[in-house]
Amino acid sequence: MFAATLFSTVRPVIGGQAVIEGVMMRSPRSFAVAVRTPDGGITVREEAWLSFAERWPILRLPILRGANMLVESMVNGMQALNFSATTAFPDDESLKAEADKANRARKGGGLALWIPILLSLGFAFALFKGVPHFATWGLGQLLAVDGRAALSARDPLFHLIDGVVKLLLFVGYIIIISRMPDIRRVFMYHGAEHKSVHVWEASEPLDVDHARPKTTAHPRCGTSLLLLAIVTSVIVFTVVLPLVPVVFEQSAAQTAFLLVLKLPLLLPIAGVAYEAQRLAARHPGNPLVRALIAPGMVLQRLTTREPGDPELEVALAALRKTVWREGLSTAVAREATVETFANFAAVDAQLPPLPAAA
């Protein structure tokens, strides 16, 4: 029985992401997406996953593994969203065309695969880095005394205000999109993903009865990671940017130059935030750790909603499929497989609930 093999070793870390009418789950060897179909069934797409860190072991080092995780999450997220959109809305021809284009890019590799990811990163950088950066600079210009700006990038206060503006923008963005019905559905699946992972980490059977009472908050959530990244960025920018020499006499040009320099700093910032989150996940009962993760856990109240049983079933289907591959003692083909189950009972028949660890 594959469960016995799995529980005789260290339990793999599994995490996920909510998508359109579904949940994506990632384990060390598996990438699975489960989506609720219009007729009430559950479609599961799963394939073997080989982390970039398996190909290039240097990416396993502290800090680098956090940056690697960020890039992998972007790649997995794009694939999962494309699959979920076409599965949840099979009659939408425009979605099918986009999904076909994305699949061709994924198989072909190269720049075509990275264009949508780079565009998404560019938009996020402009909104959550560019706007706060120039807003803080503008405030300094507004409060200038005798032609001298009240704030400069050499002042810790500049980066503190930048971080506060960034946080307010981030929270405001979440509040605005949470009013959209489709996003509220995604947030329900986000809650279902967390509940399912809690069941796995508690070594309990992967079924709805055990998932239902679990909390929708989780210390390894991406929402918490983003909050840690904002705090980390304030510290890193306060230390690094004052060391940068003045290149442009004009204040706006120098400010734009410093904003460009922030771009390569994003990867080490993500790495430091990831290490802090890993530490918190390993020691959740420590009072200092609880204080560290408390803001992120509170923020998750905005990005999760209490799921119903249908959402929990989808999350558990994705989770069980990743666990299935982790329990295999031999390698199987890397090609993706797609299965459609009429209901969760059919998932039970093929992927039974795992017993608690002895």
* 69-91 tens-digit pLDDT: 888 888 888 889 889 988 988 87
* 84 is a domain residue: yes
Evaluate whether residue 356 is within a structural domain: no
Q: What is the mean pLDDT of the chain?
A: 85
- How deeply is 84 buried, as exposed, middle or buried, from its count of CB atoms within 10 A (0-12, 13-18, 19+)? buried
For residue 278, the model assigns a pLDDT of 84
Secondary structure of residue 112 in the 3-state scheme: helix
Residue 137 maps to a domain: yes
Spatial CB neighbours of 39, under 8 Å, sequence gap ≥ 6: none
pLDDT band at 114 (very low <50, low <70, confident <90, very high): low
CA distance 167 to 341: 42
Residue 121 included in any domain: yes
Could you tell me the two tokens for 76?
């997995």
User: Mean per-residue pLDDT for 244-269?
Assistant: 89
Domain count, the chain: 1
pLDDT in tens, 209-228: 999 999 999 988 988 888 88
Reading the block at residue 68, the tokens are 């690697």
Q: What is the pLDDT of residues 276-317, one digit of tens each?
A: 888 877 877 788 777 878 888 889 999 999 999 999 999 999
Residue 357 lies in a domain: no
Owning domain of residue 259: 2-350
Distance of CA 74 to the CA centre of its chain: 8
Q: Does residue 355 form part of some domain? A: no
* Residue 358 counted as domain residue: no
Q: Is the pLDDT of residue 127 over 50?
A: yes
Q: What whole-number percentage of the chain has pLDDT above 90? A: 41
Dihedral sign (CA 208, 212, 213, 218): positive
SS3 state of residue 38:
coil
User: Is residue 99, in this structure, part of any structural domain at all?
Assistant: yes
**Cα separation, 252 vs 110, whole angstroms:** 36
Burial label for 108, CB within 10 Å (0-12, 13-18, 19+), is exposed
In this model, does residue 19 exceed pLDDT 90? yes
